Amino acid sequence: MTKVAIFVSGGGSNMVKLVESMTGDHPARPCVVLSNQPDAGGLLRARDMGVPTVAVDHKPFGKDRPAFEAALQEALAPFEPDLICLAGFMRVLTAGFVTPWEGRMLNIHPSLLPKYRGLHTHARALEAGDTEAGCTVHEVTAELDDGPVLGQARVPVAASDTPDTLAKRVLGMEHQLYPAVLRRFVEGTRDTLYLP
C-alpha cells in the first residue's frame, strides 16, 4: 500500500477529494496532512476525516528556507510517506527538499501548463483573452510549476468571467483530475490524462 502525504496551505478542498478517493481497492492511503499554516482549514478537515495532521509554521524561519525545509522533512519522516501530493501548498520548495523526492512528488496547478506558472493564473488567462483555461497535475521538479505533465483538464472561459468565477469552474475540474491522476500514478501510469 502506497502511503501518501498531502501538503496544504488553505481550505484543502483538493486534499479532501484525494483523501476521499483513497478507499476500497485504491492502492494508496493518506498517512498525514501537513501544512505550513497552523490555522489552515485543511488541517481541521483532515482531522475530521481521521487523517493525522502536522503543522510546520514557516514564519519563525523567516528567509531561511533550508531550515524550514529541514523541519518539514523531520515532521514528515515518522509517517514514512512513499509519495507527496502538494494540494494548494503555497510555499516554494527548493531543490534541497525537492530533489530527494523527485519522481515521488505531485502538484496541482490552476492553469494549462506551461502557461501561467506562479500566481494569479486566472486573472492572467482573462487578461490574455484566452477562450479556455484549466488545471494541470505534474511531477514536481526543482523548477517552479515545471516537471512532467501527468494530467490536464480544460474548461471554457465565459465572456462574463471574473478571476473568481473562473477559479471556481477550474477548481471543480481540479477535484476530478487530481484523484484520477493520483490513482493512475500509483498504479504506474505516466502518460498524460486529458479531461474531459
* CB 11, min distance to ligand GRF, A: 4
Single residue of 2, 11, 123, 146 touching ligand GRF by CB under 6 A: 11
* Residue 85 amino acid letter: C
Active site residue 109: yes
Closest CA to 21 of 59, 64, 51, 52: 51
Site for ligand GRF contains 108 (CB under 6 A): yes
* CB 167, min distance to ligand GRF, A: 7
Single residue of 69, 139, 161, 174 touching ligand GRF by CB under 6 A: 174
Lookup result for grid cell 484523484: 179
Between strands 132-139 and 149-156, the pairing is: antiparallel
CB-wise, 42 or 81, nearer to ligand GRF? 42
Site for ligand GRF contains 110 (CB under 6 A): yes
CB-wise, 18 or 72, nearer to ligand GRF? 18
H-type alpha helices, 90-186:
95-101, 121-127, 163-186
156 contacts 172 by C-beta, under 8 angstroms? no
- In whole angstroms, how large is the CA radius of gyration of the chain? 16
CA angle, 117 then 145 then 69, to 5°? 125
Alpha-carbon distance of 84 to 76, in angstroms, equals 10
Ranked by CB distance to ligand GRF, the top (closest) residue is 88
Site for ligand GRF contains 87 (CB under 6 A): yes
Binding residues for ligand GRF, total number by CB under 6 A? 15
CB-wise, 78 or 194, nearer to ligand GRF? 194
Interface residues with ligand GRF (CB under 6 A)? 8, 10-15, 42, 87-88, 108-110, 171, 174
